[in-house]
Structure 1
Amino acid sequence: MDSQQERTSRQQRHGIGGIGWAIIGTVFFGSLLAIGILPRLSQRSELEAAVKEASTLPSVNVMTAHRAAATTNLELPGSVVALNQTTIYARSTGYLRRWYADIGDRVQAGQLLAEIDSPDTDQQVLQAKAELAQAQANVSQTRASLAKGVADLKQARANLLLALQSWQRWKVLVNQGAVAQQDADTRYATYQANLANVEAAQNTVNSDSANVEAAQANVFASRANFQRYSVLQSYKKVTAPFAGVITARNVNSGALITGGTGNTNTSNTTSTSNTTGTSSTNTSLYTIAAYDALNVNVSVPQSSSALVQAGQTAQITVRELPQRVFSGKVVRTSNAIDPNTRTLLTQLEVQNLDGALRPGMYATVKFAINRPNPPFVIPGSALVVNAEGTQVATVTKNQTVHYQKVGVGRDYGTEIEITSGLTGNESLITTPTVDETEGLRVQPVAQKAK
């Protein structure tokens, strides 16, 4: 009996222990399950809240700025001008006898262009020539007078020497008592007279020498005057100062020409060959331009002025010759910015041996600019210009809108250069609106830069 009770008691104890262990295990595994599920449930709630919040934020398209190319083309308008162009005026006064060149004619340096009838100049040349001959004759006459004066001086000196010796001999005879004092005084008076004659002859020689010098100077002046009128006479033939093309003829045969520098009325001048009725006084005869080499003037903006240097090459095109590309070289700049246009006058030289380019043409000049630190480029729509200045709208790491001031460079139309204000890491709103105010939370949507 006792044994049976003991066995029953042990079985009950073993049963209670199993249940307890089952309960403990259940509690243990329940705790583990709670530890694993509760954080997930919390994270899920937060995620759902974030998704809900994100779905309520306005979305904006964003992009990052990209660097411009290291080499860029700078296209500017230019004006073709002649390397050497001048207006030819007459130096001789008269009537135009004949002209030999018309507009469009190519002429060489020294080629005869026109002849002028100048009777006044011809007479002045004859008069100057006669005055020169008269001056030369006067020199000969004064030289002959000088020669006679020199001979008279020699004779007077010889007479003076003879009178001196005679007086000295008579002086000795007077001391010896051989002759009277009166005779010695006569010899002394003769000596004094000859001395005066020598002085007078010397003065005559000096005067004749001065006359010779004056006559010689008069010859020089007359010769210079004659040469001057001879040169003016040579201007009756008007020649080309250099090789080029005649771009204007302003007179006809028979027109009165006044020698000068173009200070007369030239309102009736014309660049056409049919200048009928040109009878007014007009010293402007021709305009000539050299075409073999031309200049192209370009106004470079101040922002690009430091990038254009002497010796740099550029491509030059004109609308009328679409298949031709001319090569030009920068030969000089004004080295000063025009305060009115804020541009730098730059001059390029281009060869034009075939005469395809003409002065006055409108040209397009393309420079290849190398930039060691190229600026950023953004879409033009990303730029905001308001009372605060020039800005771009960015999205911060906290997904809030922030407006950043920037400096702009060249405008390419759809894109624009940013010279300052960006680091390249900003998320730029591609098309900001007035609703996107400073500090507004937004949902950025990344887009690739074009």
Structure 2
Amino acid sequence: MDLLKLLFSNKVFRFIVIGITIYLASFFIYSKATRGARANQFVTKAGDIVFKPAHAVFGKPNRSESFEERGAEGGTFGEAGDLQNAPSIGALNVEQRMISPNIDVSGLVDFESKADIFSKIGGRLEKIFVQEGEEVSLGQKVFQVESLQMELELMKQQATLEASRSQARLAKEKWEKAKMNVYGLLQEKEKSEAIYEKVKEELEKARATFFALEEVYKVGGLSKEEFEIAKLGLTTKETALGVAKRDNEIRSIGLTDEDIVQNGYVLPRSKEEKLNLFKEINTKIERAEYEAMEGVCRSHEAQVNSTKTMLKEVIVYSPMKGVVAKKYKSEGELLGGASGNQAVLTIININKVYAVFNITETESTILKKGMRVDFFADVFPDIKFSGKVTLVSPLVDQKAHTVEVRAIVENVGRKLKPGMFIRANIVLGNPTPTILLPSIALLANEGDKSSVFIFKEGRCYSTEVKVGKKYGNDIEILQGLQQNDVVLLEKLSQLRDGMPVTPSFSR
């Protein structure tokens, strides 16, 4: 310990120890940095000279030099020897395949058609004829609502209707009788007119007689008493004429030509037409009463027909062929009618179903109706289903910028059920020549750029390629390769540009 303290107290010794430590640390860093075959040639040669003493103690680093360097330095093997001893690497001969442009997308199965079955009338749910999962045909009975209350209401309405009909018949008879009375009124009018004319003539005669007697009275040929009697007789005739006139006027109300004109009719020429118009004018009240009762009858009849129609809705029938997907009500529950009431049953048709997907805006411009859609359901991974596009939605989802696509599918065996998750491949056009490589042949770079090793003239060379879509374990090559190029598939991390290899075509 004293000796070490003595040595470290010497500055020269300390500088020597620090220098050796830095030298050895630099040697180990250099050795680690130059282990790869791609180490810089100038740095490697300079390092070998500088660290030659360290090499003598610790040995040279395990480096794989490029075959060109080894040849230049006079290595153990020449070029012919390198090629003869080149490692065997799995390889693939590039070939173009006819691939249809397509897109891969996930989606769901949806039913083709669905019907929620409601009751149009209120009442207690008396009977449900079907169960969930049961197949139903078009027009099949599915449930029935209790009808007793409605039948009693119908009986009451029918009785009311019969009463109103009787009243209407009575009103009609009164109207007909009133029309018949018009003929009698005309006869009375004519009679009063005749009486008036007769009284008028008698008055004229009485006046003539009175005037003659008056002249005789003036010359003294007639006593005053006789004159007063003659004057009283004239007055009586005048009074009788006034009474006859008033009676004629009363009996003429509604039976004159003026009445026809005042009621908005054209004065007819024939006597029969005039008689019919007089009947119309003089039976307005009776006619109105009859029409009012007829309106009441129609109202009651409408109520009866409405109740009869609603009674037909007591039994509800399936509007479509399908399967009962859900039952929401149980027998005995009270239904409030179609307005705001929950459905009793839901029936769906799954003989055909829709495969529903969402694709990008760009893809939607290519996709057209009638294009084929192939897809697999997760629950049936080995069964391939196919359908045809029936709808490319005209609307774009503003948040996801996608477009909904629907394809109709024949649901053979009803394997597909609404809500199933599916993965689809939508064919966008006719097959085109396409280069596909296994994913294991690519060294990933950035974006859509990758690189592969190709075999050429006994050696391998790294080549950059542009990749496209994936097809299972294969990937599309858009640029960088040509037909009949040989691509290496194995030990890619060990390959270097210009390295001799022997391709092995096991695929």
Query: Structure 1-normalised TM-score?
Result: 0.62
Q: Does the aligned pair in 2 maintain the 1:411–1:417 contact within 8 Å?
A: no
Match of 1:129 in 2: 158
Shift of the 377–208 alpha-carbon distance from structure 1 to 2, 3 Å rule, reads farther
Bigger CA radius of gyration: 2
DSSP-derived class of the 1:307 partner? coil
1:306-385 maps to which residues of 2 (within 5 A)?
306-322=365-381, 324-352=383-411, 354-370=413-429, 384=446
C-alpha displacement of 1:315: 2.4
DSSP-derived class of the 2:446 partner? strand
**Take 2:241 and 2:443, find their aligned partners in 1: how far apart are those partners?**
132
C-alpha displacement of 1:162: 2.3
Q: Does the aligned pair in 1 maintain the 2:367–2:392 contact within 8 Å?
A: no
Paired residues in the alignment total 333
Amino acid aligned to 1:251:
K
C-alpha displacement of 1:416: 6.8
Q: Does the aligned pair in 2 maintain the 1:73–1:368 contact within 8 Å?
A: yes
CA offsets 1:286-314 (integer angstroms, 9 cap, x no match): 11111222222111222211111122232
Residue of structure 2 aligned with 1:255, choices 333, 350, 360: 333
Q: Does the aligned pair in 2 maintain the 1:88–1:284 contact within 8 Å?
A: yes
**Take 1:302 and 1:410, find their aligned partners in 2: how far apart are those partners?**
18
CA offsets 1:84-130 (integer angstroms, 9 cap, x no match): 11221222222222221101111112211222224332333223323
Matching of residue 185 in structure 1 with residue 247 in structure 2: no
Match of 1:151 in 2: 180
DSSP-derived class of the 1:196 partner? coil
Matching of residue 284 in structure 1 with residue 343 in structure 2: yes
C-alpha displacement of 1:371: 7.0
Shift of the 181–92 alpha-carbon distance from structure 1 to 2, 3 Å rule, reads same
**Take 1:346 and 1:164, find their aligned partners in 2: how far apart are those partners?**
94
Match of 1:20 in 2: none
Match of 2:290 in 1: 212
Residue of structure 1 aligned with 2:140, choices 111, 117, 130: 111
Shift of the 325–392 alpha-carbon distance from structure 1 to 2, 3 Å rule, reads closer
Query: Structure 2-normalised TM-score?
Result: 0.56
CA offsets 1:380-431 (integer angstroms, 9 cap, x no match): 856535xxxx8899xxxxxxxxxxxx9x97566875787xxx9999xxxx9x
Residue of structure 1 aligned with 2:320, choices 221, 242, 257: 242
**Take 1:170 and 1:84, find their aligned partners in 2: how far apart are those partners?**
93
Shift of the 134–374 alpha-carbon distance from structure 1 to 2, 3 Å rule, reads farther
Q: Does the aligned pair in 1 maintain the 2:444–2:450 contact within 8 Å?
A: yes
Shift of the 192–258 alpha-carbon distance from structure 1 to 2, 3 Å rule, reads same
DSSP-derived class of the 1:370 partner? coil
Match of 1:77 in 2: 106
C-alpha displacement of 1:245: 0.6
Match of 1:41 in 2: none
Matching of residue 231 in structure 1 with residue 276 in structure 2: no
DSSP-derived class of the 2:329 partner? coil
**Take 1:330 and 1:414, find their aligned partners in 2: how far apart are those partners?**
27
Q: Does the aligned pair in 2 maintain the 1:87–1:286 contact within 8 Å?
A: yes
DSSP-derived class of the 1:284 partner? coil
Shift of the 227–316 alpha-carbon distance from structure 1 to 2, 3 Å rule, reads farther
**Take 1:164 and 1:243, find their aligned partners in 2: how far apart are those partners?**
83
Q: Extract unaligned runs of 5+ from structure 2.
A: 1-67, 73-94, 209-233, 260-277, 452-465, 488-496, 500-507
CA offsets 1:189-230 (integer angstroms, 9 cap, x no match): 110110237589866611222222222222222222222222
Shift of the 384–322 alpha-carbon distance from structure 1 to 2, 3 Å rule, reads closer
Q: Does the aligned pair in 1 maintain the 2:436–2:474 contact within 8 Å?
A: no
CA offsets 1:300-358 (integer angstroms, 9 cap, x no match): 22221111112223224323345543332222222122112221111112223643322
Q: Extract unaligned runs of 5+ from structure 1.
A: 1-50, 56-65, 265-282, 394-405, 431-442, 446-450
**Take 1:204 and 1:316, find their aligned partners in 2: how far apart are those partners?**
85
Q: Does the aligned pair in 1 maintain the 2:98–2:431 contact within 8 Å?
A: no
**Take 1:375 and 1:224, find their aligned partners in 2: how far apart are those partners?**
74
Amino acid aligned to 1:190:
D
Shift of the 350–137 alpha-carbon distance from structure 1 to 2, 3 Å rule, reads farther
Amino acid aligned to 2:313:
Y
Shift of the 201–337 alpha-carbon distance from structure 1 to 2, 3 Å rule, reads closer
RMSD after superposition: 4.0
**Take 1:319 and 1:157, find their aligned partners in 2: how far apart are those partners?**
97
Q: Does the aligned pair in 2 maintain the 1:96–1:252 contact within 8 Å?
A: yes
CA offsets 1:258-306 (integer angstroms, 9 cap, x no match): 2234x35xxxxxxxxxxxxxxxxxx431111112222221112222111
Shift of the 204–359 alpha-carbon distance from structure 1 to 2, 3 Å rule, reads farther
CA offsets 1:131-151 (integer angstroms, 9 cap, x no match): 322332232122112112212
Amino acid aligned to 2:125:
L
**Take 1:78 and 1:254, find their aligned partners in 2: how far apart are those partners?**
41
Shift of the 417–196 alpha-carbon distance from structure 1 to 2, 3 Å rule, reads farther
